[in-house]
Amino acid sequence: MMDTRPPLAAARDAISAARRIVIFTGAGMSAESGVPTFRDALTGLWARFSAEALATPEAFARDPELVWGWYEWRRARVRAAQPNAGHRAIAEFAARRAAEGSGGVTVVTQNVDDLHERAGGPAAVHLHGSLFAPRCGACGAPGAFATVEPVEPEGGRRLAPPRCEQCGGALRPGVVWFGEGLPEAAWSAASQAMDSCDLVLCVGTSALVYPAAALPEQALRAGATLLQVNPGHTAFDALARFNLKGSAATVLPALLCGNH
């Protein structure tokens, strides 16, 4: 029989009926916190580059000051940003489900920011690493930033990466660049969550970057329902049972917490 309910109401019912839920997030999740998405054009010192061109081991090897400066600028932007109503809705929703015993919520994110955690939500599975965990590019030892609170000029600047205390090598950002493997523990936690969930809610990702984009498809193959929140069109449009066309900070409070 045809479902005649409004999509938001039907999506809410699907969420209530689900026992295990995975929330899979991308850069659009943090856009309303003022963190640019990955495919927004760059400005300032990096205006001639795309993010794709900077997020590679080759770019860092060719010009470490350009790439390290970009990551320090992004770390400063994230430090100054606050979780938005979407992050808060996810945190509230997960806490409510835990208190009711109505089923687990796992947050799997491609984002390298810490806004899910700062919203008070469950620790997210970070598939692409973190802006806050630099390591030595030579020996892999964890490293420390030169300044804990980076203050970067608006247009950015070139910055030499700090040196490793163990071996003197250059530190690199603790993120996953193109051509690099994803952290094994994060990948296996995400993969297990996808195999055992009833519903996966995809928020603010273009679903262009693999292997992360294959995870919701894995959940679908294991029988889960896919819901999507995104103001634009994505590769998941054809796969989602419900496509809620709107921003994370407007749709998630209504979808997860009934605030509308």
Q: Which residues are catalytic?
A: 128
Q: Which of 21, 164, 194, 251 touches Zn ion (CB under 5 A)?
A: 164
Q: Which of 122, 169, 231, 246 touches Zn ion (CB under 5 A)?
A: 169
Contact flags string 97-116 toward ligand BJW, x per CB under 6 A: -------------x-x----
Contact flags string 107-146 toward Zn ion, x per CB under 5 A: -----------------------------x-xx-x-----
**Closer to Zn ion at the Cβ: 142 or 153?**
142
| N-term to C-term CA, the chain | 28
> Is residue 28 close enough to count as binding ligand BJW by CB under 6 A?
yes
> Is residue 26 close enough to count as binding ligand BJW by CB under 6 A?
yes
**Chain CA centroid to CA 165, Å:** 30
- Counting Cα atoms < 13 Å in the Cβ hemisphere of 212 gives 28
Quick one: tokens of 116? 């899910």
Q: Which of 39, 96, 221, 245 touches ligand BJW (CB under 6 A)?
A: 39
Q: Which of 50, 102, 166, 259 touches Zn ion (CB under 5 A)?
A: 166
**Closer to ligand BJW at the Cβ: 104 or 175?**
175
Structural contact between residues 104 and 125, judged by C-beta atoms closer than 8 angstroms:
no
d(CA 141, CA 186): 19
**Span near ligand BJW by CB under 6 A; candidates 6-14, 87-95, 151-159, 175-183:** 175-183
**Closer to ligand BJW at the Cβ: 34 or 168?**
34
d(CA 144, CA 134): 7
Residue 158 Ramachandran class (φ > 0 left, ψ -120 to 50 alpha, else beta)? beta
Taking the complex as a whole, the smallest distance from the CB of residue 57 to Zn ion amounts, in Å, to: 16
d(CA 36, CA 111): 11
Taking the complex as a whole, the smallest distance from the CB of residue 204 to ligand BJW amounts, in Å, to: 3
d(CA 147, CA 21): 38
> Is residue 32 close enough to count as binding ligand BJW by CB under 6 A?
yes
82 Cβ contact partners less than 8 Å away, ≥ 6 residues apart: 33, 115, 118
**To 10 degrees, what angle do helices 248-257 and 7-17 make?**
60
Taking the complex as a whole, the smallest distance from the CB of residue 166 to Zn ion amounts, in Å, to: 4
Among ligand BJW, Zn ion, none, partner that 194 touches (CB below 5 to 8 angstroms by kind): none
Cβ–Cβ contacts within 10 Å for residue 144, how many? Answer: 11
Q: What backbone phi and psi angles, to 5 degrees, belong to 202?
A: -100, 125
Q: Which residues bind ligand BJW (CB under 6 A)?
A: 26-28, 31-32, 37-39, 55, 110, 112, 128, 175-176, 178-181, 204-206, 208-211, 230-232, 234, 247-248
